Amino acid sequence: MLVHICCSVDSHFFLEKLQKEFPEEKLTGFFYDPNIHPYSEYRLRYLDVQRSCKKLGIDLLEGEYDFENWLDAVRGLEKEPEKGARCEVCFDKRFDVSAHKALELGEKKMTTTLLVSPLKSQEQLKRVGDAFHKKHGVEFIAVDYRADGGTQDQSRVTKEEQLYRQDYCGCIFGLTMQREQQDRLMDEMFSPINNRTLPASIEERLAMYTKRMEFEDEGKPYRIVRQKFLNYRQFSCTLTKGKTTSIPAHALAYSTLSRKRAQGKIEYSIDNVHYMNRDEIRFITLEHYNRLAESSFENVRELIFNAPTFEIELMVRQKIVALPYDLTPIVVVDTIPEGKLTLSLDAKTYEDTKEYLISL
């Protein structure tokens, strides 16, 4: 039986149930989910599915990540709600590819872990599956593992196996609507030009779950723990002198301006830190930054495009302002400018949760 797989949270429990209910069937997993966005999230979900299938002794195949073709398939349905017409087209595409993969492998039966997802309509899935049975001759096995406490059982398995628990279905359109309804920043879509790994980002989780698999291969005991913290994302930072002169500038992490824009002049300096007369804004030269960070950037433009890790930048901030939870704007420039300055800084702090891998 070919089993289309969407994610480990759905698939691990689902595959365990299939193994018990269909002991005579050789199950083959097929991860085909071009709807998942961004690509880093796709890699993270596939990584966890690989681990899950390995633990269950199930062969796993990866389908093509043909995201552009998926976008073409759902064009015009971007505003459809979850379980709406866009989802049905998405199912159609994934069922079509999965059915052809089953035929290619000589399988007569197929099913999907989407059946266990509370975000999906089982009736919708059954309808699409039955249509493909008639068209392709591949029988769709529509099992209901949500009933009789199945959802609670799935949650228990997810916790026991320490599976990656994503909090959105996968597609950019569903994510956008979900974050708008929650009034939450869609930080999954941040991709810094300096390739820095941001706190609680998909990239940070991908690195952590990769390390987790290394721990398991080496037999090292571990736990994944969650912790609440104040997260930060910066949209933009520009500095101008007068009306037209642009000055390369880099704002340290956790620099914020309440009104996103401030004008003023630098009034005085203490210990290589230069103080503006508005909004507690402080400036340091790149030379001073290099000393604090133990780096060797030649100019601020290089710093902007090749910034060090978030942790190093927090260390630099703490050397300048020792107060905990400090949000003072600290701006790095090549040389300290004179005259009237305008700093535009669009950034946001927000409550968030991140995961840590702890070796026992």
pLDDT tens for 115-132 read 888 767 788 888 888 888
Mean pLDDT across 174-182? 95
Strand, coil or helix: 345? strand
pLDDT surpassing 90 at residue 88: no
Mean pLDDT in the chain? 93
Q: Give CA separation, 166 vs 7, 9, 120, 188, 206, in Å.
A: 9, 8, 15, 11, 12
pLDDT for 122: 83
pLDDT surpassing 90 at residue 228: yes
Q: What residues contact residue 355 under an 8 Å CB cut-off, 6+ apart?
A: 205, 208, 224, 225, 226, 227
- The stretches of 243-350 forming alpha helices (DSSP H) are 286-293, 300-305, 310-320
Percentage of the chain exceeding pLDDT 90: 79
pLDDT for 189: 93
Q: What residues contact residue 286 under an 8 Å CB cut-off, 6+ apart?
A: 297, 299, 300, 303, 332, 333, 334
Mean pLDDT across 227-242? 96
- Using the CB atoms, write b or e for 205-220: b if 16+ within 10 Å: bbebbeebeeeeeeee
One-letter amino acid of 222? Y
Query: In angstroms, rounded to a whole number, what is the distance separating the alpha carbons of residues 160 and 162?
Result: 6
pLDDT for 116: 87
pLDDT for 322: 85
Q: What residues contact residue 7 under an 8 Å CB cut-off, 6+ apart?
A: 33, 45, 48, 49, 113, 164, 166, 170
pLDDT surpassing 90 at residue 62: yes
What pTM value is reported for the model?
0.91
Mean pLDDT across 154-163? 93
Q: Which domains are assigned to the chain?
A: 2-182 (3.40.50.620), 230-354 (no CATH)
pLDDT surpassing 80 at residue 302: yes
Q: SS3 breakdown of the chain: % helix, strand, coil, rounded to 5?
A: 40, 25, 35
pLDDT for 117: 80
Beta bridge partners of 356: 225
pLDDT for 291: 97
Query: In angstroms, rounded to a whole number, what is the distance separating the alpha carbons of residues 44 and 164?
Result: 8
Q: pLDDT tens across 17-54, in order?
A: 999 999 999 999 999 999 999 999 999 999 999 999 99
Query: In angstroms, rounded to a whole number, what is the distance separating the alpha carbons of residues 97 and 31?
Result: 11
Q: pLDDT tens across 252-275, in order?
A: 999 999 999 999 999 999 999 999
DSSP for 201-226 reads -HHHHHHHHHHHHHHHHHT--EEEEE
